[in-house]
Amino acid sequence: MKAAILFVIVLTVIAVVSTIIVISKGDPNYRKSSKRNTRNLTVIYSFTILISFFALALYIWIF
């Protein structure tokens, strides 16, 4: 049990440090690409929600 807790703590520290390293670099073209990124994310989320509702309906219908 102690090994699992230690593993989670180490993994969390690695994730935090990695996130800080990535954030510090930044993107100089962020303003130009934000509209395209927002549109792409909207399409991805819409598709995912649609598929999730379909999967839920199929699950309810079968079981």
**Average pLDDT of every residue of the chain:** 88
Exposure string of 32-51, with b = 16+ CB inside 10 Å and e = fewer, is eeeeeeeeeeeeeeeeeeee
Per-domain residue ranges for the chain?
36-63
pTM: 0.50
What pLDDT shows up at residue 3?
86
Provide the pLDDT confidence category of residue 50 given band limits of 50, 70 and 90.
very high
Tens of pLDDT along 8-29? 999 999 999 998 888 877 777 7
**Residue 30 clears pLDDT 80, i.e. is over it:** no
